[in-house]
Structure 1
Amino acid sequence: MSDTSPTGPMAEAFEAQRDRLRAVAYRMLGSHADAEDVVQEAWLRLSRQDAATIHNLAGWLTTVVGRISLDVLRSRQARPEASYDARLSELVVTLDDSPAPEEDAVLVDSVGLALLVVLESLGPSERLAFVLHDLFAVPFDEVGQILGKSTAATKMLASRARRKVQTIERPTGIGREQREVVQAFLAAARRGDFEELLRVLDPEVKLTVDTPSGVVVTLGATKVAVGAQLSAGSAAQGRAVLVNGLPGIISWREDGTPLSVVAFTVVDGRITDITVVVDPAKLALMDLPDPA
């Protein structure tokens, strides 16, 4: 989508809303690229609008972004191949420098992989009702106008979505505790300590690996522990990172090219989910830090 170099008072007012609109679109769509496209389309529509007819710019833009996002979600339903797994390359990787407690609190509030996966399972109307009302405090009557539904029907949609979202196991002990569990797992894998691996893995742990040939899922602590032992020595060097706010590690080969990005979800002192990207094409799309 082409950019239009926004200028003037209308553009300044839009720019003041851009970050919030991008956040709304990202929570709706789970894709940074799609969110940017939606925000750009909202600007194009605003630039063609008579400013005198808009009495509440923030509300008008939220409505426009909501409607565009709803159209994108509905088009995805018609194209089921546009799945969440295809967007695993959009993991956000930053160096983990053991942030201060107040920064850890921000990580707890961030929307991580688990919530994005659950949102992906919601119908378009449920997702819009939940995201706009519960995450961005848009009144139900305004959400209903976007959906073409009554306020009561919109409340029911949000309530259904809320029940599904509440099934997520919230990571606990983000910060030092969580990092210590991950470090214990990595150390046990390097030593080949099978019993210690089983101790830090949840019995029903899920391992998702994004490979060049597709996404491979492994379930259960025993299988994941065996795999961890076998792959422990493949990296020349590794570095602690945060992956979408979760503790993780990035590994490089001897020539400095990225080997893998790994994210861990820790609940009640055990690892419940591990997400690994080893597909070189997807690693190349990430904005990854350089080896230390």
Structure 2
Amino acid sequence: MKLEGIIAYPVTPFKGAEQVLDLEALHITLNALLEQQCDAIAPLGSAGESAYLSWSEWQEVAKTSIAVVNHRVPVILGISELTTNMAIQKAKKAEELGADVIMVMPISYWKLSDQEIYEYYQQIAAETSLPIMVYNNPATSGVDMSPELISRMFQEIDNICMVKDSTGDIQRMHKFYELNHGELPFYNGCNPLALEAFCAGASGWCTVAPNLLGKLPSQLYQAVMTGDLEQAQALFYKQLPVLRFIVQGGLPKTIKAGLNSMGFAVGNPRKPLQKASPAQLEQLQALIKSATTA
């Protein structure tokens, strides 16, 4: 499977003081994302607070997301686990539920060797026929996989067929291209790097931005695809202040604050994460208004 374009990340809505899952709000926000010309939907990433969900909650979000999207675009389910066994359990459930792709990221307490990381992916891949996107995000996982290791896994493990890199290092993307002669599809997960990544040959942009910026991310992608670099630059710089703000403020906090202010009742991030302060919300609203006003 070759994914291209804007891969959008939904939040996981909660309601009430007990912060229980709000599947109705998830339904609404997923449909809103699909209206923003997104090319795939990726629930249960870091913006979806997957690390803070129980196993039963993870299954509910996965099942609901797949049902709501209903084959309109591919669904990529996020799997980020300390143990190989739990990652395998989620991979099997993702396949059972009808996901199109799984995005897998190892989480580290003890520092993992390259061989341990390799076997983590190898053993997950042996238990599912789903395509696997390797996800490298050392800021949240504590694991930084080199382009050489990822390329080796791509070449040797059959259903590993793409990589998402969120390090913010454009040289990693150049390295993926060079090591694999352009055959490894790579995806940008660092929002402020969107324009550079597309120009470096990224197949897609994995982003929460459509939640707050509507069709602007898709318009940027289309401008790049049609070779209109001047338009792409204009669209990118329009979005950049928002992209920087949401990364610096933390995705669950800032995206939920923005969605709530736009009339989507998605609740607050799950504790110990805190909601945005009034000052942060005011700044975010001003940035969104500036970006989305013609």
- Bigger share in strand: 1
**TM-score between both structures, scaled by the size of structure 1:** 0.30
**TM-score between both structures, scaled by the size of structure 2:** 0.30
- Bigger share in helix: 1
